[in-house]
C-alpha cells in the first residue's frame, strides 16, 4: 500500500513539474498588453469618448438642418400624432453617418421621416479617443410637434 501511495505521489510531482514547465514556456510566447484600453481598432464603436462627435456648426446648425428638412408626415398630421422620436446612429472616423435606427418611435410615419432626415445629414466632425478619430454611437431626440 505504501508503495502505491509513494508511486502516486511521485507521479503527481512529475506531472506538476511538467505543467509548470509548459506554463513557463507558454508565458514566454504570449504577448501581454499592459493596458488593454490603449488598443483601439477601427471597428470599435464607442458610447463614451474623450471628445464626442459634433455637427459642423454646432447644435444650432443641427437643429436648423432638422427644421429645414423634416417634412411632417401626412398620416401623423391627420391623426394628431406628435412627440419625440429617439434615433441612434454611428458617426464614423470620417464623420459619415451609418447604422441609423429608431430607439423609440411615435408612429404615423414620424419614425421613418426621422431616419430619412438623419441619413441626409452632412458628415459630422468625428469623435476622438486618445487623439485618434473613432466610431461613436450617438443618440438623438427629434421632436415632432404640430403647430396650433
pLDDT digits (tens, 9 = 90+) for 18-60: 444 444 444 443 333 344 455 556 688 999 999 999 999 999 9
Q: At what angle do helices 58-69 and 110-120 cross, to 10 degrees?
A: 130
Rounded Cα distance between 129 and 143, Å, is 30
Predicted pLDDT of residue 147: 83
Element (H, E) at 139: strand 132-144
CB 53 within 8 A of CB 96: no
Helices (H), 38-125: 58-69, 74-78, 110-120
- Across 39-48, 93-102, 132-141, least confident range: 39-48
Amino acid at each position: 500500500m505504501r508503495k502505491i501511495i509513494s508511486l502516486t505521489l511521485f507521479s503527481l510531482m512529475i506531472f506538476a513539474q511538467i505543467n509548470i514547465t509548459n506554463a513557463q514556456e507558454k508565458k514566454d510566447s504570449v504577448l501581454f498588453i499592459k493596458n488593454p484600453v490603449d488598443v483601439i481598432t477601427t471597428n470599435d464603436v464607442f458610447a463614451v469618448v474623450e471628445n464626442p462627435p459634433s455637427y459642423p456648426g454646432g447644435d444650432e446648425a443641427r437643429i436648423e438642418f432638422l427644421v429645414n428638412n423634416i417634412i411632417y408626415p401626412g398620416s401623423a398630421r391627420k391623426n394628431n400624432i406628435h412627440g419625440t422620436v429617439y434615433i441612434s446612429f454611428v458617426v464614423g472616423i470620417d464623420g459619415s453617418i451609418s447604422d441609423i435606427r429608431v430607439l423609440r418611435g411615435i408612429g404615423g410615419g414620424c419614425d421613418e421621416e426621422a431616419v430619412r432626415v438623419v441619413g441626409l445629414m452632412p458628415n459630422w466632425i468625428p469623435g476622438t479617443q486618445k487623439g485618434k478619430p473613432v466610431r461613436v454611437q450617438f443618440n438623438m431626440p427629434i421632436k415632432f410637434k404640430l403647430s396650433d
